[in-house]
Amino acid sequence: MKPYHFRALAALMGILIAGHCLAQDLDLSFDGTCAGELTGDAGSVQTTSLDCVLATSNNPTDGGVQAWSISVAAEGATITNITTDGTAGAEVDEGGLRNMGFEKSETTDTSGIAAGGNNDCEGLSGAVSAIVLSFESPVTLDPEGSAVVARIDIEVGAPDGPGDCSTVNVFYADGCRGAGQPVRNSVTLNTATFIPETGSCSFSVCAAQVEDCDGEGDEDGNGLADCEDPACAENPACADDGGDDDNGDNGDDDNGDDNGDDNGDDDDDDVDAPPRFAFGRSGLSPPEDAENEDASGSVRLVQVRDRASMHVHVAGLVPGAVYTVSASQNEVSEEIGSITTREATVRPSRCYSGGLSAPEEEEPAEEEPAEEAEEEPGDEAVEGGGAGDDADDAGDNADDDAGDDADDAGDNADDAEEDDNDDRGRGWRWGWRWRGHGRRSSSDPSGSARVRLNRSRSEATYRVTVRRLEDPIASVRLILNDGTAVELEGRRGSFELAEGQAETLNGAVVEVYTQAEEEGAEATLALSGEVNSCYPRLDRMRARIAARRAGRGSLRIDTRRDDELPLGVLEVTDLEGAVITVASADGTVVLSGTIDELRTFGHGRRDDDEEAPDDEALDVVEEVAEDGGGAAFKLLEPHDASFVRGDANDDGVVNLSDPIRVLSMLFQGGGNLYCEDSADANDDGVINLTDPILILRTLFDGNVGGIIAPYPYRGFDPTPDELLCKDFEG
């Protein structure tokens, strides 16, 4: 095979393989006691925790994961708790990424067939979690990397027989069901739903050996034998006292009093229960004589059952300034908190890379040919001939130099391509590539360096790759932009960063020193080069986003965090008519507004009277008499009907209440929908977390055409699926 044929074949294979890399790789796994062992007394209860980890790789886009839902089950153990605390799914003020999003996490022992999935959770202890990082801003996980998205607590009993062991298997299982619908493991990225690869975690639970107090030896392996072991303290041959005083009083007083007292209170609270749902948004605007006319803001109130929240948002204010928020109603005024607006700062990138090359050597001074001409003077004719010869030689040299430069350029391009491949993981993800042996003519040493920060930017890992070095490496040094020199331990390792040093990594210099093995040899600089951000486009995008966010801020009040609503009210509906003001440090009012009337829903439908069904609708329902008069209409069978896609609550308009209605149905037991197709915003035949996100993006992000037809006008589903209209009551 001719060389150029081989090169063409290799290029074609590269294109084909690269084509498989265009799709994101999403994986759910566990981190914790996997493949480990828990040991305790026979019959005792052992506990452990596992982190649920979501990894994104091979992502060709600049965006990361926006939302996810997970369903976890355990064989041979009980999942006692699931939480997002301390994970990426936690609130921003609690160290996570979630900002004005959605979270629902709960344990469960029920299951069902998940939409688009299976029921792998039947008969098992399970847990579910659904997270939307934000409904109002483009908050995502990193486009590449891993993140802990939930943490589960597991409880398992040790076997009854000393020395016996049992196995616990924890895995991602579709179909675990909490208050809402059965949950499928899925991820939302760029408003599209992806089904990730799922992993499992297995570990052993063993009952410890028991010390034989009547025999010889250390049966339980604690280093203490027989009477020296505390386990034998009550043995007649070892104990001085019977130890009867410590037994018999435990547990008598704690049972019966603590259980059941709270149940009666819950029943009393339901007498004046707030509306199942209440929400509304009211605008804040600057005064007429305000200096900053570009300032804006809003107040959002939401109540879901007994949980109430109040969010005050501002924009267009002075970046990094502190503003006081107050509420007043019926001549009563109260300062409810403060807002510190965002500054136009961008967190440093977490990845830096660059090539390394040998330092340029100083060229020796050229000898002047003038003296040689004076030593051998000749006749003018000969000198003229020499000038012609010199001109010819110059032309020959120009041709030779140009050819050599072209060859060198080709060699350098090959080296650059190879270095680029090395910087990207030394080949394709399948672990091989054609290196073009025999094409490289340069013997110059080269290399590459890569530095990656952890999420807190306090520690970094690095990898230095070198090629064609003649002498062993003596040391590797990293010189930050602030002049700090960090001595690295070898070609691969980690180092800590002081506060603020993460900002000095972009453009930092990596130096590789070598030292000959002969005695007395000194270390010399063999390679050096800068490392710069691996994702400059992403950094520029982040800078633009930070500039847009500058001057924005929010104040959040949430009764779930034990916050209290302002003015002593218990429900958000009691704040209708209240005036919200935002003032600067000197007391100048920069924004104000009145809270408008809120929308309320009793059981997922409007409180106002529904229009009577038309004659066509009555053809598919039957009237069923009820006790006490009145009538109800029940579908004879599921059917197609006209609807507006995105109008999940069937009130004739697509607005903020609709994604709330979908989330309630999926995760909070909010009841079925009249037309399930109305909630299927992307028309993929399945209702999942992606649908409310797409509705919100269409409403608030200007994503024109995001919701699939029929939208925004009523019509019929253009693609037949199993989502139909049912459960209609008139």
Element (H or E) spanning 273, and its range? none
Q: Is the pLDDT of residue 128 over 60?
A: yes
571 is written with which tokens?
Answer: 């429900």
Per-residue burial over 106-131, b = 16 or more CB atoms within 10 Å of its CB, e = otherwise? bbbeebebbbebebbbbebbbbbbbb
pLDDT tens for 592-612 read 999 999 887 654 333 444 343
Q: What is the arithmetic mean of pLDDT over 612-633? A: 36
Bond before 3 cis per omega within 30 degrees: no
Distance CA(306)–CA(613), nearest Å, equals 33
State how far the Cα of 480 lies from the Cα of 462, in Å rounded to an integer. 14
Reported in sequence order, the residue ranges of 318-419 that DSSP labels E, i.e. its strands, are: 322-329, 332-340, 351-357
Share of residues in the chain with pLDDT > 70 (%)? 69
Q: Strand, coil or helix: what is 272?
A: helix
Q: Are strands 197-198 and 25-31 parallel, antiparallel or unpaired?
A: parallel
Higher-confidence residue: 632 or 310?
A: 310
3-state secondary structure 668-702: CCCCCCCEHHHHCCCCCCCCCCHHHHHHHHHHHCC
- Predicted TM-score (pTM) of the model is 0.41
For residue 387, which phi and psi values (nearest 5 degrees)? Answer: -60, -40
Name the token pair of 572: 């958000």
- The residues near 668 (Cβ < 8 Å, ≥ 6 apart) are 104, 179, 180, 304
Residues 411 and 702: their CA atoms lie apart, in Å, by 49
Residue with tokens 């006319």: 293
| pLDDT for residue 512 is more than 90 | yes
pLDDT at 232: 72
Per the document, the length of the chain is 730
pLDDT: is 620 or 152 the higher one? Answer: 152
Based on the number of CB atoms within 10 Å of its own CB, is 508 exposed (0-12), middle (13-18) or buried (19 or more)?
Answer: buried
Indicate the range of 230-239, 395-404, 544-553 predicted with least confidence. Answer: 395-404
Collapsing DSSP states into helix, strand and coil, what is residue 172?
A: strand
Residue that wins the pLDDT comparison between 377 and 499: 499
pLDDT of 627 reads 36
Q: Contact 303/573 with Cβ under 8 angstroms?
A: yes
Closest to 62 in 3D by CA, of 534, 393, 455, 686 = 534
For the stretch 189-217, what's the b/e string if a residue is b when 16 or more beta carbons lie within 10 angstroms of its beta carbon? bebebbebebbbbbbebbbbeebbbeeee
Dihedral sign (CA 213, 215, 221, 227): positive
322 forms bridges with which residues in the sheet? 340
Q: What percent of the chain lies above the pLDDT cut of 90?
A: 32
Written as six digits, the tokens of 34 are 């996997």
**Mean predicted confidence (pLDDT) in 396-409:** 44
> In this model, does residue 218 exceed pLDDT 90?
no
Mark 604-638 as b/e (b = at least 16 C-beta within 10 Å): bbeeeeeeeeeeebeebbeeeeeeeeeeebebeee
Helix, strand, or coil (residue 713): coil
pLDDT at 638: 52
Average pLDDT, the chain: 75
